[in-house]
A = this chain, B = another copy of it.
């Protein structure tokens, strides 16, 4: 496999700077998720450790030590043929010797012994297995075959398998520390509300430590390794259904089953659980490229980005952002609206926060006049609009801060408030007073979200978390957290129209590209507006068609073999009379025949349509997500600026509207230089229909290129002027 990264250029995976997770995805077309079957893995009543070691520093010893230290409640059965007891527990020579039900078995033996151990587990009715051992698909083809065998044994025996080549999982609520990452020597507290699924075990251990530094414990840490069976989508789904988990973090290096991933995200969405992702390892964009003109732009990472937006996932670009937004999603209530109120003891910090808020799409709405007057009564020189600056007066009278917050909360109509309070919370009596005040505020305005920007000692931060509030030293981070929570709220509150019904259009026959005429007809049958082109085979027919359509007209050769018509003189535009059409017909027939060496028998005549904004719609097959719809403005916007957006198909008109508004040059559609606003509704409807068509024939269509798709003035609709549909080649 070849991977593209802005940093690394195009590299072979063999040179990849991260350990390959060696995923073997033999059932990638299935998007089935069975959460119930994961129960014995994540909440086992009993566990066995095959390859248990007496040395708590070793891979086979560490989980045992962790389980004991964290008082896992069920029986623990060490399996080791060479010792009667392991870490003071009676050991068994084989899992066959235990004689009692085992829900979850850990396999930590050399690679050659893994399959026999797994078979023994199946034989005695173990219900779930974790395999630490590496040396499978991440190494070579032989390893991949062994891994496929592991998966097959699990499927046949009804046993769910995590790994191989993983570092296990931790359920922090029941002491199930089934991992060998040294970070888990530091215990979390039960009752954590943030869950993580990660393809990198090292990463999971690292963020666990970072979280502990912030007094935050996870609910689950799930490391999926090579994903022979249980994968990140399963992990997301499990956490989506877990009542204790309130937000889900995902660390991804790569994933091939886009449909299953989307199903898992839909489960999280249904349960209103924020998902925060780091996604690395950008897959080859060009893999999807075909003859289609727009395909070259479809970087797979851009598609991941689009899917994250489409399904409301917050994509983080740093570990700290990943953790902080994760904590916010898990610990804080979401603001009921996008209006943010800012109150500061330093005017400058207020403006800094206001600009950050506006940049992230929050509404720094001014206060109504009455509460402004109240603030001014409190502090004569205060800024009262929003941000509110209660000035250094707060040094003389600390109660001013609480009074100002109360007024903003009660009369400002804000969904969230950020008080910047500097180092006050470091003074114990002020910290206590603030927490008391915030407690009263929460009782009075239970929906309001408060995020403090302050030097925050642990008791302050934890006190705020207990109220569903947050605190950050950095005021800009406070605003960013609110923006992320507001985006989650908006996403969960979506009430989109459903996607367009699948069109009844039959799939195009496998084979070569459709001609322009056939392509337009195919799109028309799926409900897209297309130019009224007529197929003709004589000058007379052309002239008759033109008379019916009205002059001026365009004349083009109609042959599926000629992809670039204008290169061979096969396009004549703006023909104003029957005579001009006749001349053009004769010249084109002769010219194209001379250039291509073949007689051309059919042409199209179409009305000239002008006035409007030229756009480009496209469909391409993404190797992960299947049919993906692209949108951009025509010509130089796409080619010079790469100003295009993507969505996984299918999607409805509301999503299409959001998609259209994501291009940087959206203003062109709103009308510039005195031009009228374009008919964005018609454009959105066309995108939604195109996505339904692409999804309905996902296996039959390689690509669709509608270029130009002319979007006319508002109310006048839109029309495809040219199109190219390329069916998938026979397999």
Chain A residues in the interface with B (C-beta under 8 A): 5-8, 11, 15-19, 182-183, 199-200, 202-203, 205-206, 209-210, 213, 251, 253, 278, 280-281, 317-320, 342, 344-352, 354-359, 364, 381, 383-389, 391-392, 395, 422-423, 455, 473-477, 635-636, 639-641, 664-665, 667-668, 672-673
Interchain Cβ contacts under 8 Å between A and B, 9 examples? A5-B355, A7-B357, A203-B349, A251-B348, A317-B355, A317-B476, A319-B475, A320-B476, A636-B668
Verify B381–A347 contact, CB threshold 8 A.
no
Bound CA span A280–B635, Å: 38
Residues of chain B within 8 A (CB-CB) of A8 are: 351, 354, 358, 364, 385
Contacts A473-B320, A665-B640 given; indicate if A17 touches B350 (C-beta within 8 A): yes
Bound CA span A45–B545, Å: 98
Additional pairs, 14, CB under 8 Å, beyond known A15-B385, A253-B348? A5-B358, A7-B351, A17-B350, A17-B385, A17-B388, A18-B351, A18-B389, A19-B383, A19-B391, A200-B348, A202-B349, A206-B346, A209-B455, A635-B673
Residues of chain B within 8 A (CB-CB) of A672 are: 636, 639-640
Q: A643 → chain B, closest Cβ, in Å?
A: 9
Residues of chain B within 8 A (CB-CB) of A18 are: 346-348, 350-351, 383, 389
Number of copies of this protein chain within its complex? 2
Residues of chain B within 8 A (CB-CB) of A357 are: 7
Verify B17–A387 contact, CB threshold 8 A.
yes
Residues of chain B within 8 A (CB-CB) of A359 are: 6
Q: A480 → chain B, closest Cβ, in Å?
A: 9
Which residue of chain B has its CB nearest to the CB of A359?
B6
Verify A17–B386 contact, CB threshold 8 A.
yes
Bound CA span A6–B344, Å: 19
Bound CA span A345–B17, Å: 11
Which residue of chain B has its CB nearest to the CB of A422?
B206
Residues of chain B within 8 A (CB-CB) of A349 are: 202-203, 206, 319
Contacts A15-B383, A15-B385, A383-B18 given; indicate if A202 touches B346 (C-beta within 8 A): yes
Q: Which of B455, B477, B640 contacts A667 (CB 8 A)?
A: B640
Q: A277 → chain B, closest Cβ, in Å?
A: 12
Residues of chain B within 8 A (CB-CB) of A358 are: 5-8
Verify B477–A320 contact, CB threshold 8 A.
yes
Verify B667–A347 contact, CB threshold 8 A.
no
Residues of chain B within 8 A (CB-CB) of A278 are: 348, 352
Verify B352–A19 contact, CB threshold 8 A.
no
Which residue of chain B has its CB nearest to the CB of A387?
B17
Verify B354–A5 contact, CB threshold 8 A.
yes
Verify B356–A317 contact, CB threshold 8 A.
yes
Bound CA span A318–B453, Å: 12
Verify A202–B673 contact, CB threshold 8 A.
no
Verify A354–B639 contact, CB threshold 8 A.
no
Q: Which of B5, B183, B351 contacts A281 (CB 8 A)?
A: B351
Bound CA span A711–B351, Å: 41
Bound CA span A392–B225, Å: 14
Residues of chain B within 8 A (CB-CB) of A280 are: 348, 351-352, 355
Residues of chain B within 8 A (CB-CB) of A673 are: 635-636, 639
Q: A478 → chain B, closest Cβ, in Å?
A: 10
Bound CA span A11–B384, Å: 13
Bound CA span A641–B668, Å: 8
Bound CA span A346–B251, Å: 13
Q: A4 → chain B, closest Cβ, in Å?
A: 11
Q: A174 → chain B, closest Cβ, in Å?
A: 25
Bound CA span A183–B427, Å: 12
Q: A246 → chain B, closest Cβ, in Å?
A: 24
Residues of chain B within 8 A (CB-CB) of A19 are: 347, 381, 383, 389, 391
Q: Which of B5, B389, B477 contacts A17 (CB 8 A)?
A: B389
Bound CA span A668–B639, Å: 9
Bound CA span A358–B364, Å: 34
Residues of chain B within 8 A (CB-CB) of A251 are: 348
Residues of chain B within 8 A (CB-CB) of A352 are: 278, 280, 318-319
Q: A279 → chain B, closest Cβ, in Å?
A: 10
Q: Which of B17, B356, B641, B668 contacts A665 (CB 8 A)?
A: B641
Which residue of chain B has its CB nearest to the CB of A343?
B17
Q: Which of B16, B199, B355, B476 contacts A319 (CB 8 A)?
A: B476
